[in-house]
Amino acid sequence: VITAVSGFVLLTVTVVLGQYGWGVTYTSTQVCAFKGATAEIRCTFRYPSTINGRNTRVVKKFWFITHKNNEPVDLKTDPEYSGRVQYQCENNDCTLRITDLRESDSAEYKFRFITNDPRGKYSGSPGVTLTVTGPQLQVHVRRSTVNSYSNWKELTCHNNCQLPDQSSYIWYRNGHKLSSDEQYLHLNTFDSADSFHCAVKGYEIFPSPTVYAPKLPSVSVSPSAEIVEGSSVTLTCSSDANPAASYTWYKEDVINPLIYQNQHFFFSILPSDSGKYYCTADNDLGQKRSESRTIDVKYAPKLPSVSVSPSAEIVEGSSVNLTCSSDANPAANYTWYKEDVINPLSYQNQHVFSSILPSDSGKYYCTADNDLGQNKSESRTIDVKYAPKLPSVSVSPSAEIVEDSSVTLTCSSDANPAAKYTWYKDNKVLATRQKNVYHFISIKLENSGNYSCKSENQYGQKNSTSLSIDVQYAPKLPSVSVSPSAEIVEGSSVTLTCSSDANPAAKYTWYKDNKVLSTGQKDVYHFISIKLENSGNYSCKSENQYGQKNSTSLSIDVQWKSKIIIMNIIRLTLVVLILIPLLVLSLLTRRKKRILLKTEPNEPVEMTEVYSHPD
Ligand SMILES: *[C@@H]1O[C@H](CO)[C@@H](O)[C@H](O)[C@H]1NC(C)=O
Ligand SMILES: *[C@@H]1O[C@H](CO)[C@@H](O)[C@H](O)[C@H]1NC(C)=O
Ligand SMILES: *[C@@H]1O[C@H](CO)[C@@H](O)[C@H](O)[C@H]1NC(C)=O
Ligand SMILES: *[C@@H]1O[C@H](CO)[C@@H](O)[C@H](O)[C@H]1NC(C)=O
Ligand SMILES: *[C@@H]1O[C@H](CO)[C@@H](O)[C@H](O)[C@H]1NC(C)=O
Ligand SMILES: *[C@@H]1O[C@H](CO)[C@@H](O)[C@H](O)[C@H]1NC(C)=O
Ligand SMILES: *[C@@H]1O[C@H](CO)[C@@H](O)[C@H](O)[C@H]1NC(C)=O
């Protein structure tokens, strides 16, 4: 039991108080002492040796902590201190001694003296602060820093108030007393589960706190709810340890520590910050690693990417997959759209055409959705290639086609890529070209015929049906011909023909000596029995909607029939006249020969004129 222990000096600054020769000097201003011990507070005081010519004499000296009626109360009269206070004063030196200290004795103590002069009173202020406690022990740890193989540690039992030199110590490991009674405890080996504390003998009820290596650190994440990209997140590591632990944060698969603090702070967390985190807690007695904590940063879908399979050319009838993918957490839901089509095509990341059609060509895009938002891909153009569809030939102008006009034939065929065209006339190749038109600047008769076209690309070819082109034209110069072409005799049958090429067929007008004879469809003018008065100059006019042409005229000269009879009589007479001498000669030579003379009768014919026209 400590009995002879005085107060322990904390601060040894000597303070001189007073003025004009008055003063109190305390040897220390802070004193700390254990409960139950004895504290001593000492001072010296001074005063002028004379006041107003009278020798000064001290009549009262005491210590106080409180006032009553504005007068300091002598500690000796305080019942709380009764029997525990002594003043030991000698000359200008006075010591306050308090025994059996209590915690309630903690206070500021001041010394006061009163002289024989009524004004000669003096208190030393500020006074001395006494602190009564149990021993305030701390175990201080020092450890080997040489290398990781030497693992010694040195523990020191340390007190805030200086302990008396003769104090002896008690060390405890895991609550069990060790044999050492030194202030220092040297450990060559150390089990991280061990804990230590110390006490001062006689004051076992005031042990030091226990020191131990860090316990398993716990990790907390704030906010504790879902972590969304861009939010601020704090990871906090805490571990029970004495001395207090220092902390280090790590991310798995990252070699270097993130930060040497108990908190790791993300101002604006990124998807790439997702991962497993752990911390370590260290003190001089050891280290402990926390369990790993998974941080899963949620985020809205990133820009979706579109892939088309096959990536090469897409041909009608083939199978095509559109695939949408977007980085998102949680995983996105996908929707496929076609531009200009209001309703979605499908609600999957793949949109599959099992047999794609030309009409499927167009721009496609997809959207990716999750709880945190939506994102839309760029549009992707799908261009479905296909062989030409059945071509058709059209003509412009679509009305009748007239010689020398400009005419355009167009072959219409749907194809991707655009077709190459071959033109046929009457099944013979006319031209091969890129364009789907065939142009006549000035169409001719010989261009009439059946036209067709073939449309062709690398995926196939198709023939059109044929279109008939019939070039129309005004009559060509007509010519009049007569049949029979020999001499025309009165009463014979004669046909005049007007020959004129025209499309459509011409209408004919017959003229005799520039006067209209007949108008009609026919190109012939027929006399069943021609008369003398039918002689004249005949011409015809050939005419259709595109024009008309006059023929040159043909002169018809009808011969008189009686003139022919006379001519025949004359011929006969001449013959007879020639034959008689021959006959006589013959009779003379061959008497018995009969002379036979025969002539053919020339019967008259009734001549009638027949018109072939309706009027
Ligand atoms: C879509 O993703 C891109 C980049 O991934 C991002 O910049 C953009 O803000 C996102 N759009 C929406 C609407 O979330
Ligand atoms: C398209 O996707 C389907 C189903 O995923 C698959 O069976 C098919 O082989 C794919 N086709 C192509 C051309 O990638
Ligand atoms: C995604 O699709 C699933 C299944 O169809 C559905 O349960 C979920 O609600 C959808 N999520 C979103 C964000 O649309
Ligand atoms: C198209 O018509 C041309 C001419 O008649 C012929 O030579 C060719 O073989 C035909 N092609 C097809 C694909 O029918
Ligand atoms: C044109 O076609 C029509 C009917 O297909 C046929 O009667 C005519 O003889 C053809 N013309 C030519 C010049 O082949
Ligand atoms: C054709 O001849 C007739 C009769 O001589 C005449 O009246 C007409 O004007 C002529 N027409 C032409 C186009 O020369
Ligand atoms: C017929 O034409 C010829 C010459 O072209 C002419 O000499 C003759 O007089 C014409 N005849 C009549 C009846 O006009």
- Residue of 607 and 65 predicted with greater confidence: 65
* Rounded Cα distance, 25 and 16, in Å: 5
Locate the ligand 1 atom nearest the alpha carbon of residue 303 and give its number.
Answer: 2
- Whether the predicted pLDDT of 604 surpasses 50: no
Distance CA 224, CA 233 (A): 9
Atom of ligand 6 nearest to the CA of 549: 13
Per-residue pLDDT of 325-366, as tens digits, reads: 999 999 999 999 999 899 999 999 999 999 999 999 999 999
Q: How many whole angstroms from its chain centre is CA 54?
A: 105
Helix or strand run (H / E) with residue 565: helix 561-589
Residue partners of 294: CB distance under 8 A and separation at least 6: 275, 276, 277
Residue 589 domain-assigned? no
Atom of ligand 7 nearest to the CA of 535: 13
**d(CA 358, ligand 2 centre) in Å:** 20
pLDDT tens sequence across 23-54: 899 988 888 888 888 888 999 998 888 888 88
Establish whether the linkage from the previous residue to 344 is cis, with ω within 30° of 0. no
pLDDT of residue 1: 26
C-alpha–C-alpha distance, residues 22 and 43, integer Å: 13
Nearest to 468 by CA among 508, 507, 424: 424
* Of the residues 197, 212, 227, the one at which a domain ends: 212
CATH code at 187?
2.60.40.10
pLDDT score at 231:
95
Same structural domain, 415 and 461: yes
Output the six-digit token pair for 151. Answer: 């693992």
CA-CA distances (angstroms) from residue 469 to 13, 436, 475? 132, 17, 19
- With 50 as the cut, is the pLDDT of residue 107 above it? yes
Residue from 428, 414, 426, 423 nearest 385 by CA: 414
Nearest residue (by CA) to ligand 6, atom 4, is 514
In-domain check, residue 579? no
Q: Looking at this protein, which amino acid is placed at residue 565?
A: I
Q: Which helix (H) or strand (E) holds 138?
A: strand 137-143
Q: Ligand 6 in contact with 541 (CB < 6 A)?
A: yes
- Which of the given ranges, 31-35, 119-123, 513-517, 610-614, has the highest pLDDT on average? 513-517
Answer whether 238's CB lies under 8 Å from 220's CB. Answer: yes
Q: Is 416 in the pocket of ligand 3 (CB under 6 A)?
A: no
Residue 234 lies inside a defined structural domain of this protein:
yes
Domain of 283? 218-298
- Give the mean pLDDT of the chain: 87
What are the CA-CA distances from residue 9 to residues 110, 203, 253 (Å)? Answer: 17, 19, 56
Q: Are residues 129 and 144 in the same domain?
A: no
Domain boundary among 133, 161, 180: 133
124 and 8 within one domain? yes
Residue 274 lies in a domain: yes
Confidence of residue 164 (pLDDT cuts 50, 70, 90): low
DSSP string, 221-257: EES-S-EETT--EEEEEE---BSPPEEEEEETT--S-
Q: Are residues 280 and 380 in the same domain?
A: no
Whether the CA torsion 396, 397, 402, 403 is positive or negative: it is negative
Task: Give the position of tokens 């008259």.
Answer: 604
3-class DSSP state for residue 325? strand
Q: Whose CA is nearest to atom 8 of ligand 2?
A: 321
Q: Report the first-to-last Cα separation within the chain, whole angstroms.
A: 172
d(CA 355, CA 282): 67
359 and 379 in a single domain? The answer is yes
Q: For the segment 551-603, what is each residue's pLDDT rounded down to a tens digit?
A: 999 999 998 887 778 888 888 999 888 888 888 888 888 765 454 444 344 44
Decide if 526 contacts 453 (C-beta within 8 A).
Answer: no
pLDDT confidence tier of residue 149, bands split at 50, 70 and 90:
low
Ligand closest to CA 230: 1
pTM of the model: 0.62
* Same domain? 30 vs 118: yes
- Contact between 228 and 372 under an 8 Å Cβ cutoff? The reply is yes
Candidate of 302, 306, 376 to mutate for ligand 1, largest count of ligand atoms within 8 Å of Cβ: 302
Let me know if residue 604 belongs to a domain.
Answer: no
Q: Does residue 584 lie within any of the structural domains? A: no
Number of domains making up the chain: 6
Query: 201: which residues sit within 8 A by CB, 6+ positions away?
Result: 167, 168, 169, 170, 181
512 lines ligand 6 (CB under 6 A): no
Q: Is the CB of 450 under 6 A from ligand 5?
A: yes
Kindly state whether residues 238 and 288 are assigned to the same domain: yes
The answer to whether residue 606 is domain-embedded is: no
**Quick one: 106 and 23 in the same domain?**
yes
The model's pLDDT over 430-469, given as tens digits with 9 standing for 90+, comes to 888 778 899 999 999 999 999 999 999 999 999 999 999 9
- Proximal ligand: closest to the CA of 558: 7
Ligand 2: distance of its center to the CA of 368 in Å?
20
187 and 278 both lie in a single domain: no
Q: How far is the CA of 564 from the centre of ligand 7 (A)?
A: 24
CA distance linking residue 205 with residue 35, whole number of Å: 11
Residues 258 and 274 in one domain: yes
Give domain status of residue 268, yes or no.
Answer: yes
206 shares its domain with 277: no
Q: Output b/e per residue, 427-446; b: 16+ Cβ within 10 A.
A: eeebeeeeebebebeebeee
Q: Do 51 and 117 fall within a single domain? A: yes
| Ligand 7 pocket, Cβ-based, cut-off 6 angstroms | 513, 536-537, 555
Three-class DSSP category at 359: helix
Please report which ligand is nearest the Cα atom of 551: 6
Contact 302, 329 (CB under 8 A): no
Strands 293-295 and 305-309 come out as: unpaired
